């Protein structure tokens, strides 16, 4: 019997039970999408909304899909008339455009700046399901001060909008590059960085990763380009697309590319990914910060990084890096993932190091960055450097 016929005959409750027992391949074959496994530990009652919320699996049209998800997303809906018609384009990609705009908050004198992600039209049923799934993933993930926050959505009709927190100062990598220039302040942000401040930013990233780990998730692409920075050096981890994919589909999709030089050996060997891989990448992040945005392994071609690591070679200590910080990096880069520190252990060691860290001497790197050269050495696309909000 086909799944659709079973549902009509036995009702929604029995249909959900059947879906929970079927293998992912059968769900993909029958329904065209992969399941969202609640067993991965994400609390579906996070954020105070409660109840079992999911993107409907058996809708036959975009209109019926939007209608059935309206209730689930009711608390997030923002009337479109509250959004300004003035849009500043941040990025235009294959899935849609990303804009910065203003949202009315009730006080005309204090509109709120938000980032608006728009699903590209025409959008088919699969694209709409995926877009709604990402909104619900953020909704039920809950809030954390070191993660970019979902501000709302407009999903009652097409085009679909996702509203995200605006961190106007931009990404950490661009901030680090600007710190190399002879610039003291720009747009209210002080472009200086000390060793103590590196630990301050690193601590916030660890807090965000601990939050994800508590949800039985991992990030999968920890890097300076995926961290947004505010004027008070509050760090916001973004780029949660891979976490969503793993949660929704149970595996990292073949189409999701992460730059090789940030990946742990087990990821390069296509073994099962985990939070321990994020710890490896966190060591790369420390290197990025202390070198003010230098590409990792500058002497190694991106495609040769696995062979380089298999020879148990790691990066040498940068001249601007203390032995204490380098010790933290090396602990993150242990080949065996079991021998790397846990997030809590790393957090504790970082806190201890921060107490005696230099908070006076400013990190200095005289060479300016040529983005095209950086992209080639780092093994990343220029497109990924062109905007800050690769959030979802």
22 located within any domain: no
6 located within any domain: no
Same-domain check for residues 114 and 186 = no
1 located within any domain: no
Same-domain check for residues 182 and 319 = yes
Same-domain check for residues 335 and 190 = yes
7 located within any domain: no
Same-domain check for residues 160 and 241 = no
pLDDT at 387: 54
Q: Is the pLDDT of residue 23 over 70?
A: no
Same-domain check for residues 331 and 254 = yes
Task: Report, as residue numbers or ranges, the catalytic residues.
Answer: 221
337 located within any domain: yes
pLDDT at 187: 60
pLDDT digits (tens, 9 = 90+) for 328-350: 999 999 999 999 999 999 999 99
Q: Residue 99 maps to which CATH number?
A: 3.30.200.20
- Of 108, 140, 166, the residue at which a domain comes to its end is 166
Q: Residue 238 maps to which CATH number?
A: 1.10.510.10
316 located within any domain: yes
Same-domain check for residues 178 and 160 = no
What one-character-per-residue DSSP string does 288-309 give?
Answer: HHHTTSPPSSTTS-GGGHHHHH
Q: How many domains does the chain have?
A: 2
Q: Is the pLDDT of residue 311 over 60?
A: yes
pLDDT at 59: 57
- Of 106, 133, 166, the residue at which a domain comes to its end is 166
Same-domain check for residues 108 and 55 = yes
- Of 146, 166, 186, the residue at which a domain comes to its end is 166
Percentage, residues of the chain above pLDDT 90: 60
Supply the range of the domain harboring residue 187: 172-385
325 located within any domain: yes
pLDDT digits (tens, 9 = 90+) for 197-237: 999 999 999 999 999 999 999 999 999 999 999 989 999 99
pLDDT at 57: 52
Same-domain check for residues 108 and 191 = no
- The two tokens of residue 16 are 């959900």
Same-domain check for residues 96 and 177 = no
Same-domain check for residues 316 and 213 = yes
Task: Quickly state the pLDDT bin for 186 (edges 50, 70, 90).
Answer: low
Q: Is the pLDDT of residue 282 over 90?
A: yes
Q: Does the predicted model carry a pTM greater than 0.85?
A: no
Same-domain check for residues 154 and 193 = no
18 located within any domain: no
Q: What is the average per-residue pLDDT within 104-130?
A: 89
Same-domain check for residues 128 and 205 = no
């Amino acid at each position: 019997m086909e799944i659709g016929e079973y549902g009509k005959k036995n009702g929604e409750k029995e249909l959900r039970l059947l879906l929970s027992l079927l293998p992912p391949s059968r769900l993909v074959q029958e329904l065209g999408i992969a399941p969202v496994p609640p067993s991965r530990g994400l609390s579906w009652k996070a954020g105070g909304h409660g109840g079992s919320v999911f993107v409907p699996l058996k809708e036959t049209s975009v209109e019926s899909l939007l209608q059935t998800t309206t209730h689930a997303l009711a608390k997030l809906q923002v009337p479109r008339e509250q959004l300004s018609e003035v849009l500043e384009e941040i990025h235009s990609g294959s899935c849609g455009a990303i804009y910065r705009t203003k949202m009315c908050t009730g006080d005309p004198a204090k509109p709120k700046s938000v980032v608006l992600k728009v699903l590209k039209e025409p959008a088919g049923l699969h694209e709409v399901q995926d877009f709604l799934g990402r909104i619900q993933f953020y909704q039920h993930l809950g809030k954390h001060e070191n993660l970019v926050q979902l501000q709302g959505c407009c999903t009652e009709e097409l085009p679909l909008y996702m509203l995200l927190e605006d961190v106007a100062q931009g990404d950490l990598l661009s901030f680090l590059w600007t710190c190399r220039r002879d610039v003291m302040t720009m747009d209210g942000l002080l472009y200086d960085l000390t060793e103590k401040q590196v630990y301050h930013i690193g601590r916030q990233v660890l807090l965000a990763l601990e939050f994800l780990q508590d949800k039985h998730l991992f990030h999968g692409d920890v890097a300076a380009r995926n961290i947004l920075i505010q004027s008070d050096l509050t760090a916001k981890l973004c780029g949660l697309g891979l976490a969503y994919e793993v949660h929704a589909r149970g595996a990292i999709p073949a189409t999701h590319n992460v730059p090789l030089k940030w990946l742990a050996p087990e990821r390069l060997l296509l073994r099962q990914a985990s939070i321990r891989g994020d710890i490896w990448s966190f060591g790369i992040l420390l290197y990025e910060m202390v070198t003010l945005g230098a590409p990792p392994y500058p002497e190694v071609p991106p495609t040769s990084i696995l062979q380089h690591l298999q020879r148990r070679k790691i990066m040498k200590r940068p001249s601007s890096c203390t032995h204490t910080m380098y010790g933290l990096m090396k602990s993150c880069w242990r080949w065996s993932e079991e021998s790397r520190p846990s997030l809590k252990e790393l957090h504790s060691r970082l806190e201890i190091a921060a107490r005696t860290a230099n908070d006076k001497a400013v990190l200095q790197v005289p060479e300016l960055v040529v983005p095209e050269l950086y992209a080639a050495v780092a093994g990343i696309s220029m497109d990924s450097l062109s905007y800050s909000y690769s959030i979802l």
